[in-house]
Amino acid sequence: MPKAVLTGGGTAGHVMLNLALIPHLRARGIDVAYIGSRDGLERRLLAAAAADVPYYAVSTGKLRRYFDWQNFKDPFRVAAGVVEAARLLGRLRPDVVFSKGGFVAVPVVLAARLRGLPVVAHESDLTPGLANRIALPFVREVLVTFPETKARLRHPRVRLVGGVVREALLNGRREEGRRLCGFSSPEDRARPGRAKPVLLVTGGSLGARKLNEALRARLDDFLARYAIIHLTGEQGYDPSLRRPGYCQFAFAREELPHLFAAADLAVSRAGANTIFELAALGIPMLLVPLSRAQSRGDQIENARSFERRGLARVLPDEAVTPEALLQAVTALEAEAEAIRRRLLEARDGLIARPEAVADVIAAYAGGPSPD
């Protein structure tokens, strides 16, 4: 049986595509294993979603973009990870390695090259992350999400696949999402126009402290206009904050499709996975990308791409105050129908199913290279 090794981790964005691919690879007769870090988020997410997939851990370095004494140790950790991954790959004998990026992917990709194995990499953001830039010379093919990325990458095989969205996310039920949050009442069901619009606020899997604080500082004003679903991240969850019309989750798993289905508007960081998920569902969004002081600027590029096409409004992180956030959401609501229409019109060119990526991996695992 052909075998594929999946790797990637650090944040949920580096893991969720891999999880979505597993059933499609298995449906194509491909055995799957996962290589990640010893204590990363990827181990927990895989255990929750596909506990029967073998998980192997290797040493990793953080690949920081700032000074830290740990930077002196990280090259040795990466080198140890390469040795460990090479041994694992020798034992597992996969036909292909698929890398979703993140620091854990670097030693696995380098080890695959040493073993002579083809590597397919996927880049969600408009500008490649550091891990994918390091891995690029050792990759057989790169799959990208934004058309702008294809023009920027210097690689002989770059394939535009669009934003890959998990099928489960498209099957949420609006009424179930409202019920989970306590927004649905007999009066609302009898008079649909009576219900407030639902505003989803999310900072991604790690949360967004600045968004959390700005929202909560004007919570009364927001609740006067909206019912709020707040995905806070583990550090931002406040169990003492209980208000009618305000529903918070530290991290949503099986509830997430229903919560997204319930949303009429969204405020979000601009990580590629989240914005393409919102786009697939036609949810008008206010994007608040991480600043260059906090990141490499990838979210700014993602947000600008959507803004240029009229698919989102953008509020720079540096401009976030409680008042500015409320004004920006109000402006988004005024434009919501026009943005929703553009999202639905653009959806076929924006969104890909996991099958598209699984087909590429399957071709390397058991057949000729894809055309």
145 is in an annotated binding site: no
Judge if 160 and 179 occupy the same domain: no
Q: Cα–Cα distance between 306 and 315 in angstroms, integer?
A: 13
253 is in an annotated binding site: no
299 is in an annotated binding site: yes
Judge if 202 and 342 occupy the same domain: yes
Q: Cα–Cα distance between 80 and 60 in angstroms, integer?
A: 8
Q: Could you list the residue range(s) of the whole structural domain that residue 325 is in?
A: 171-349
The contacts of residue 252 (CB under 8 Å, 6+ apart) are: 231, 259
Whether residue 23 is predicted with pLDDT greater than 90 in this model: the reply is: yes
Tens digit of each residue's pLDDT (9 = 90 or more) over 246-278:
999 998 889 999 999 999 999 999 999 999 999
| Structural domain contains residue 192 | yes
Helix (H) or strand (E) holding 157: none
50 is in an annotated binding site: no
pTM, rounded to two decimals: 0.86
Provide the CATH number for the domain around residue 91: 3.40.50.2000
11 is in an annotated binding site: yes
Judge if 138 and 261 occupy the same domain: no
Tens digit of each residue's pLDDT (9 = 90 or more) over 302-330:
999 999 999 999 999 999 999 999 999 99
Into how many domains does the chain fold? 2
185 is in an annotated binding site: no
Tens digit of each residue's pLDDT (9 = 90 or more) over 158-215:
999 999 998 889 999 999 999 999 996 555 554 454 579 999 999 865 558 899 999 9
Q: Cα–Cα distance between 268 and 154 in angstroms, integer?
A: 31
